[in-house]
Chain A
Amino acid sequence: MAREGLTARGVGKSFGAFEALGGVDVHAPEGKLTCLLGPSGCGKTTLLRILAGLEQPDRGEVALGGRSLTGVPASKRRFGFVFQSYALFPHMTAAGNIAYGLKGNMPRREIGARVDELLKLVRLEGVRDRYPAQLSGGQQQRVALARALALQPEVLLLDEPLSALDAKVRVMLREELCQLQEKLGITTVMVTHDQEEALTMADEIVVMNGGKVMQAGTPTDIYDRPADPFVAAFIGAVNFLPEWVGSASPDSRLAIRPEHVRIARADDIFDAARRELAAGAAERQPGGRRTAGCLLLAGRVEQAQFRGSSWRISVLLPHPSGGAEPALIHADLPAHEAAGLRLERGALLDLALPENRLLSYPSEACR
C-alpha cells in the first residue's frame, strides 16, 4: 500500500554484536513534523541516518510516497539534513555554506538570489559573509537550517537540532522552527531526547527504546494514554501504585501521573467522596475504596516541596495490615489548591485518584 510521506518498514541495523534497530516501522506523514523520541542509545539517530541514506540498513526498506529508496545514496536523495551541532564548513562563510548544495544544480547567477532568499527566511540577512566561528550558536543553527533547505528538499531531517543551544535560545528557535515547518509544509523528521521539545513541537511522536518503537501517536495520545510503563515514565512523571492498591486483577498494576492525583477535601468537587470517606473511616480497606469515579486512599504527608506554581507532595500509604512496605505517591497540586492544607510531615491526607486518569499495565511490564 502506497502511503504519502516517509515510511520505514521493518528496518533493522546492527553494529557488530550490538543491535541498534530491531526491525522498526515508522511513518512520517506528509507535511507534518514527526519526532523520534527516546533515551540516548535507543536507535533514533541511527534510524534518522538510515532515512537520510547516510547509513545502510541490514534489512527493511525506506520509502517516500510509496517509492522505495533502497540503493539511492544520500547524495541523490535530496533530503535536507541538519546535523547535531551543525557541521558547518569552517572555511566557508554563511553564504558559502548555504550555496554549497546549489552549485551545479542552478545557474550561477541565480545562486546569489536564492542564498539571499534563504538568509531572509531564517532571518540572518546581516551575517551573510561571516564564518561559522564568528556566529553565535543560534545563528549557526539557522545557517545549518537554511543550508538544508536550499535545494527545496521533499524531506527535512533534523538530528537533535536544538541540543547544543542554551535554554533561552532553544525555546525561541523551537517556535521559529515550528513556524517555518508549517509555512513550508515540508515533511520533517526530528530526533530528540527532550520530551518537552517533542510534546511542544511534534504533530506525531514516535517513542523508541532499545532499538524498538514503543508507541507512535499524537502528543496528547502519548501523554494521556502511554501504551506501556516505559513510555509513561519517559514522558512526564508517573506513580506506579503498589500491587495491593485498587487492582482488579493480581496480574496488573495501576499507575497515575502526579498532576492527576487530587487531594480530597470538603469544599471541592470530591465532596461526596470525602464525606463517604469520613463516614466509613473505621472500615478503610486495603487498596482503597472506589466511589464517585475515584479511587480513595488515605496516607500521611512525608514531604512537601514548593515549586512556585505548584506543590509536590509526597504521601506515604501504609499497608493496611502492615504486611508490606509502605508506598510513596507523589501528587502535584496547583499552589492555589494547596493553600490551607496542612502539609507538615505526618499530617493525615486523603488522596482521590480519578478513575479515568488511572493507567493499568501488566505487572511484569512494571518491573
Chain B
Amino acid sequence: MTAPPSGSSPLQPAAASGKPPIRGTVLAQGSSLILLLALLAAGLVLPLLFMFRQAFLSPDGSYAGLRYFRAYLESPALLNSLRHTVCISVMTTVIAVPLAFLLAYALARSAIRGKALFKAIALLPLFAPTMMHGIGLTYLFGNQGFVTTGLFGLLPFELRIPLYGPVGIIISEVVYTFPQAFLILSAALSVSDYRLYEAAETMGAGRARQLLTVTLPSVKYALAGAVTVCFSLSFTDFGAPKVVGGSYNVLATDIFKQVVGQQNMALGAVVSLVLCVPAVLAFIVDRVVSRKQQAYVTSRSTAYRIRPGRLRDAAAYIYACLAALAIAALLAAVVLASLIKVWPYNLTLTLSHFNFADAAAGGMAPFWNSVRMSLLTAVIGTAAAFMAAYLIERISLWRGLRQAAYFLSVLPLALPGMVIGLAYIFFFNHPGNPLHALYGTMAILVLSGVMHFFSVPFMTASASLKMTDKEFETASLSMNAGWLRTFLRITVPLSLPAILEMAVYFFVQAMVTVSAVIFLYGPQLKLASIAVVSMDDAGDTDMAAAMSVLILGMNVAVRLGYEALSCRLRRRTVAWRGH
C-alpha cells in the first residue's frame, strides 16, 4: 500500500519536506475510513445482526431455534398476507412497467411538445408520501368519491369500484412505482444507438421489426431493473395498504401489527426477513444490470434522431396527456380536498384543515419536525455518502476494508424501511446498549434516514468522482497542498452538482418516508408523514390530505430551488465545464 504521491514531485526532496505530509495524510484518511466504518457498523450491521438474532429468541431471551419460523409457516393469517403481498406486487409490476415504458418511449422517441412538463408530472408522485396516493384514490373512487358519485351527481349514473382492498392498493402502488420505472426506462431509451436503426433500415426492416430487434434488446437490462424495482417497492410499501387496504393484510402491515400491536418481536423479525427477499433479489439484479448496461453504447454511437411521423406523434401526445392527467387528477383531488370544507357536501373553500388544531397530531409541530429531520438527514447523509464514495474511490489504504465499506454502502438498497426501523428497535432499545439514549430522539430518526437512503446518493457520488480526472488531485498534491485542502478546494467543487443532487434526494426521501420512522419516533417527535397516517386512522382524512399537501409542496419547492440553483451553477461554470 503506497501513500498518495504528495512526495513524488521531482522538485521536492522526499526526505526533507515530503515525509510529514504523507504521514498526516495517511492518518487523516485512515481515521476517516474508520469513522465511516463505525457509522456503517452502528447504523447498519449491528442493528441487522440484532434483528436476525431476535428471530431466534423467545420473549424471555432464551434460544427458540426455528420455532417462530414454524409459527409463521403454520399461521394461516400470515401466509395469507404473504399471498396477498405477492399478488399485489405481481399485479403492480405487470401494470406499472408497461405503462412506464410507453410513456418513456413516447417522450424519448417522438417529437411532441411539452416533454419537460409531462416528465415533471410523471415524477410528481416521487415527492409525495405513498399515503397521499391512497387518500387521492378515496377522494376519487371512495364511497363519497368524485368519480364514484358520478362527478358529484352531475352524471346520471354512479361508478363504484371496490376500492378498499387489493384494487386500491394496486392502483396506489402503480402510481408510486410508475415514476421509478419511468426514470430507469427513460435513461435506457435515451442512450440507444441510432446507427443500429439505420443499419436495420438499409436491410429492409420495418418499424415493428426495428422495435423488436433493436429497441427491446437495447433496453432489456433496464426492463429487468424496472421490474425488480417495481416488485420490491410494492412488496414492502406500508403507506398505501395502511390507507386503502381495508382488511386486506399485507406483510408490511403485518409487521406493524405484530410489533406495535401485539409486541410479538420475534415474529415481527421473521416477517422482516421474508420482506427482505425480493429486495435482496432486486439488489442482485441491479448490480448485474448496471454492469451490463454500459457495454451497449460505445463512443462511436450516434444519438437517436426523431423522424417526422404525425400519427406516431398524435398517439404519443394522447398517451402522455392521459398519463399526466391521471397522476395530476389524483394529486389534485388531494389538494382540492384539503381546501374544501366537507367533501362532498359543502364545497366552499377553507384553510381550516391546515390548522391541525383539534387533530390527534398536535398542530404544525410534526411538519416542522419533518423539515428539521429532513434537513439534518440531507446535510449529514450527503457528507457521509460523499465521504464514503471518496474514501472508496480515491484512496489507496486498506483495500479489504474499503471493499467492505463499498458493500455496506450499497447494501441499504436491499433493505426495506420497515426492516431498518425494526432492526433499530431491537438494537437501540436493548437495555445494554450504550447508544440506548438515542432511542426516541431526533438523532435516531436522522440516522435511520441517512442509512435507509444511503445507497443512491453514494452511487451518485461515486459516478461523479469516477468522471472527474484523478490527475487534478495529484496535481494539487504535487503542489504541496495537503490532502484536506485538496479535498475541499478541488474534489468537492468539481463534484458540486452531484452533491446538490444527493442532498435533494436525501431531503425528499426523508420527508415522504414512513416505513422506518413509524417504529422510531418519540412521543414528542411526531413526523408529518406519521401524522398523515394517524390522522387518516382517526378519520380526519381532510387533515391528512392537508398534511400530505404540505409535504408535497415542501418537496416540490425544494426541488424547484435545486433546479434554479443548479441552473445558475451550470451557467456560472459553463466556462470551465465546456458544455
Q: Does B204 contact A (CB under 8 A)?
A: yes
CA distance A40 to B440 in the complex (A): 68
Given A89-B214, A91-B217, A80-B202 contact (CB < 8 Å): yes
Residues A133 and B295 in contact, CB atoms below 8 Å apart: yes
Provide the main secondary structure of the chain A interface. loop
In the complex, what residues of A have CB within 8 A of residue B193's CB? 87
A222, chain B: closest CB distance, angstroms: 29
A105 lies within 8 A of B295 (CB): no
Type the 1/0 row for B281-304, where 1 means its CB is closer than 8 Å to any CB of A: 000000000000001100010000
In this complex, what residue of B is CB-closest to A79?
Answer: B202
20 residue pairs bridging A and B, Cβ less than 8 Å apart: A75-B203, A75-B205, A77-B202, A81-B198, A81-B199, A84-B300, A87-B195, A87-B199, A88-B199, A89-B214, A90-B295, A91-B217, A91-B218, A100-B200, A100-B213, A101-B204, A101-B205, A147-B203, A148-B202, A164-B300
Looking at the assembled complex, report how far the CB atom of B525 sits from the nearest CB atom of chain A, in whole angstroms: 53
Q: Which residue of B lies closest to A105 (CB)?
A: B204
Query: What 9 pairs across the A-B complex have the smallest Cβ distances?
Result: A101-B203, A87-B195, A81-B202, A85-B300, A87-B199, A91-B217, A74-B201, A75-B204, A75-B201
Kindly state the separation between the CA atoms of A66 and B200 in the bound complex, as whole angstroms.
Answer: 27
A74 near B205: Cβ-Cβ < 8 Å: no
Among A81, A84, A89, max chain B CB count under 10 A is at A89
| Complexed CA–CA distance, A322 and B458 (Å) | 73
Let me know if B65 is at the binding interface, CB within 8 A: no
Q: With the chains together, A133 CA to B213 CA distance in Å?
A: 18
- Size of the A side of the interface (Cβ < 8 Å), in residues, is 29
- In whole angstroms, what is the CA distance A87 to B198 when docked? 9
Interface status of A151 (Cβ within 8 A of chain B): yes
Q: Judging by beta carbons under 8 Å apart, are B295 and A78 in contact? A: no
Can you list, as one digit per residue, whether each of B333-344 has a CB less than 8 Å from chain A (1) or not (0)? 000000000000
Cβ distance B149 to chain A, nearest Cβ, rounded Å: 52
**For residue A100, which residue of chain B has the nearest CB?**
B203
| Mask of B176-197 contacts with A, CB within 8 angstroms, 1/0 | 0000000000000000010110
Say yes or no: is A54 at the interface (Cβ < 8 Å to chain B): yes
Q: Which of A94-134 contact B (CB under 8 A)?
A: 100-101, 104-105, 133
Does B206 sit at the interface, judged by CB under 8 A?
Answer: yes
B198 touches A74 (CB 8 A): yes
A100, B206: Cα distance in complex, Å: 12
* CB-CB contacts below 8 Å: A136-157 with B: 147-148, 150-151
On whether A83 and B201 interact (CB within 8 A), knowing A89-B214, A90-B295, the answer reads: no
Interface centre among A73, A76, A87, A104 (most CB of B within 10 A): A87
Residue of chain B at shortest CB distance from A73: B201
Question: Is residue A186 contacting chain B, with contact meaning CB distance below 8 A?
Answer: no
CA distance A52 to B300 in the complex (A): 20
Q: Specify which chain A residues have a CB less than 8 angstroms from the CB of B201 in the assembled complex.
A: 54, 73-75
A54–B213 CB distance below 8 A: no
The distance in angstroms between the C-alpha atoms of A73 and B308, with both chains bound, is 13
Q: Are A76's CB and B195's CB within 8 A? A: no
- Could you tell me the distance between the alpha carbons of A133 and B199 in the complex, rounded to whole angstroms? 17
- Residues on A with C-beta less than 8 A from B218 are 91
* Bound Cα distance from A364 to B176, whole angstroms: 70
The answer to whether residues A151 and B296 also contact, given A83-B195, A87-B196 and a CB cut-off of 8 A, is no
Residues of A within 8 A of B209 (CB): 104
Counting chain A CB atoms within 10 Å of each CB, which of B199, B203, B204, B300 scores highest?
Answer: B203
**CB nearest neighbor in A for B214:** A89
* A151 x B204 contact (CB < 8 A): yes
**Inter-chain contact A54/B295, CB cutoff 8 Å:** no
Select one of A73, A83, A91, A105 contacting B199, CB under 8 A.
A83
On whether the beta carbons of B213 and A89 are closer than 8 Å, the reply is yes
**What's the minimum C-beta distance from A365 to chain B, rounded to whole angstroms?**
36
Task: Please state if A90 and B296 are interface contacts (CB–CB under 8 Å).
Answer: yes
Shortest beta-carbon distance from A175 to chain B in Å? 25
What residue in chain A is nearest B209 (Cβ atoms)?
A: A104
Bound state CA distance, A52 and B205, in angstroms?
14
Asked if A89 and B202 make an inter-chain contact with CB atoms under 8 angstroms apart, the answer reads no
- Which residues of the partner chain A approach B199 to less than 8 Å between Cβ atoms? 81, 83, 87-89, 147
